[in-house]
Amino acid sequence: MEALRRRLRLDPQVIRRLRAVFLRSFCGQDAALGEVPEATRSEVSTAVRFHELERIETLHSVLDGASKVLFKTRDGCRIESVLLRIKTGRSSVCVSSQTGCVAGCLFCATGRLKNVRNLTPPEILDQVVQTGEMLQAEGRRLRNVVFMGMGEPFHNRENLFSALEQLSSPGGFHLSGRHLLVSTVGVPEGIRRLSSCFPSVGLAVSLHSVRQDVRDELMPYCRQWPLPELRAAILERNTVYNQPVMIEILMLEGLTDTDADCAGLKEWLAGLQVHVNLIPYNPVPGTVPVVAGQVLLGSREQRVGEFLAELKKAGFKATRRHSLGADIQAACGQLAR
């Protein structure tokens, strides 16, 4: 962009306005080009590629404010993003960082996909741009960007960090760290690097169980990082950078929701700055995952409430996630191209 500006002898303010209209206001390509003097507008339009992805299908939930967007990359890969329109008026986009995921978590549709490749920074960021434009057309504003879509973000760490740099940069999307969140299966080195490079960006860890054998079966890829090593990385983030961590627990009947599980979780979290988020299990059609000899079933509502109450009674910040988009396979763990 700078080389183009110099060649066309454009005022730097022109490029700043173009980027602000496109990356912050999400007003689209035509509005962005409207900031360019008419004499050079055609040349800028030809030289600049505004979108890296092709939006090929959008599904809207009839139950809630979720939309699932199917994108295609230039080499033909397909990825999904999810728009979440919260009743309070806040809007978030759940973006993908890979075309699949090698973590292979038994409860997740993405982990069953093959042909996994990392998404480039433009491919990551264009999910934000295009969903932001959808919201802008509805009179809504995109507030939060969460890396909870397809892929393990820390497996694509350099491109993730490049995207975060643009999302937080005053010359880019100019989002504050409290409106950005990265979710991981629990890669200790990734946690440390994120905390060091982007301390204000939120972090969520898919813990699910503090019983090592259960977690190993639910999340086979995570066997290489024992729970003590994961806890040490979380504690370092707390103490060195004074930043909390969201701990995600998938509520599975008889597997992660028992009294023993609750007691073990409270013991494991003691002394950590955390916010515990209890997540409902969203089955993946056509699959019957089995762990420790039992089919995965979501916890009953009453049990989730009891588990939540016990955590709060122990002094932990805890909430229950209400997943959106289940009717269009857009809820947690259901993204599968």
Amino acid identity of 304? V
Q: Print burial letters for 272-295: b (CB count within 10 Å at least 16), e (below 16).
A: bebebbbbbbbbbeeeebebeeee
Q: Which two tokens stand for residue 211?
A: 């019983």
Q: Assign 132 to helix, strand or coil.
A: helix
Assess contact for 155 and 102: CB atoms under 8 A: yes
DSSP state of 299: P
Q: Residue 149 and residue 96: Cα distance in Å, rounded?
A: 4
Active site residues: 80, 332
Structure tokens at 278: 């209890």
Phi, psi of 18 (to 5 degrees): -60, -50
59: helix, strand or coil? strand
Structure tokens at 35: 């900031």
